[in-house]
Structure formats: structure tokens, C-alpha cells
Amino acid sequence: RRFISRAVTTSFYDILEVRESATQNEIKAAYYRLSMKYHPDKNKGSDAAAVLFHEITKAYDTLSNENLRSKYDDEVLGVSRRRQKEEDLKSGAAFHRSRQDKRQHGVHTGRSHVYNFDEFYKQHYGDAVHSYQVRKAKYEDMTKQEAKEGGLGYSTFALIYAVVIVSFVIDFFFGRDDPDRPTSAKKTPSSKEK
């Protein structure tokens, strides 16, 4: 059975927009992404989308099955999947060898052939670190500027203003015995004094 259905030399890998060395998970993810994009229900009346959806489904059906994929690679692309599997096995051996070398040398740089922690840190916390550094630099510049000017800073002015307001409030409420009676009212002579 031949897998080429069109005269055009578009491979199933091109249709799914993946590399020839793509893993099953990458192929599956590409299929779901493209099938959602070109599904006939989302593109009603579009014959081109229906044809493309059919091609995407056919490519996925072939590439998701190891036996069909191996046959497709051998017949259509002339590339053996066995060679890819051998490379995968070699890379696994390289991984174990690198682990063994690290144990012998004992040097840890924070980087690994498997996972780059420095890159992870930069991607996840880089913006926060940068923001902190910018805020810190602004604060230091403001502090230097206030010291250079020698004047009262905004915070000192706000503190003095708050003390004045509080003293007026205290005087208003606690400065008089009877807040309803004016303090400047003149006393009238009482009947006893007459």
C-alpha cells in the first residue's frame, strides 16, 4: 500500500507542521491544534478547510501508528525510523554517561545536560528580579537626591503636618472644660453680688 495520495510532494510531517524526528506527543499536539483550526464545523462552507482537515487526519492516522510511520518513512521519505530509534538510544546512553562523569568530577555549575536551571530561573523570575532592581535603584537615587538638596524630604514634611493637625484636634476637644460654652463670654453679675 502506498501512502502518497497527492502528486504534490507535501509530506505528512509538513502537513502536521512537525519535524521528521518528532515524538508521538509532538505529533498528537500538532494534530489537535490543526484539527481544531481546520475542523469543518468551524469552517462551514469552506471546501479548502475540509480537504485540509482530511489531509491532517490522514497524516495523523499514519504518523501516530509506529508501524505505519516506519513504513511511510521507508517508502516515502527513504528514512528509516530504526535509525531514529538508535539515535534515541544513543542519547539515553549519553545521558547516563554524563551523569557518571559528573559524579566523578563533582563539579556543579547549576547547568545540566538534562535541564538548565539558570534558564528556568531567568524565564520565571527574571521580570521580578528586574523590577526589584529598578525600584531599588529609584529609591537609592531619591535618597541621594534628598541628601544632596539638604532640604526636608516629603516624608519629613508629612510628619510635621500630621503633628500640627493632631495638636489642633487635641486642643479643640480637650483644651476647654465645656465645649458648648464660649470661653470669651463676659460674666454677668449674679444676684448675690448685687
Of 108 and 184, more confident:
184
Cell 479643640: give the residue. 172
At the top level of CATH, the class of 12-79 is mainly alpha
- How far is the C-alpha of 34 from the C-alpha of 38, rounded, in Å? 6
DSSP assignment letter at 189: P
Q: What is the mean pLDDT of the chain?
A: 75
- 84: nearest Cα among 27, 167, 166: 27
Of 45 and 92, more confident:
45
What's the pTM value of the predicted model, to 2 decimals? 0.39
Q: In whole angstroms, how far apart are CA 9 and each of 3, 16, 58, 93, 131?
A: 12, 14, 15, 36, 51
- Looking at residue 176, its pLDDT comes to 63
The whole-angstrom distance between residue 99's C-alpha and the CA centroid of its chain comes to 30
- How far is the C-alpha of 38 from the C-alpha of 100, rounded, in Å? 48
pLDDT tier for residue 188 given thresholds of 50, 70 and 90 = low
Of 189 and 17, more confident:
17
pLDDT tier for residue 7 given thresholds of 50, 70 and 90 = very low
The whole-angstrom distance between residue 20's C-alpha and the CA centroid of its chain comes to 29
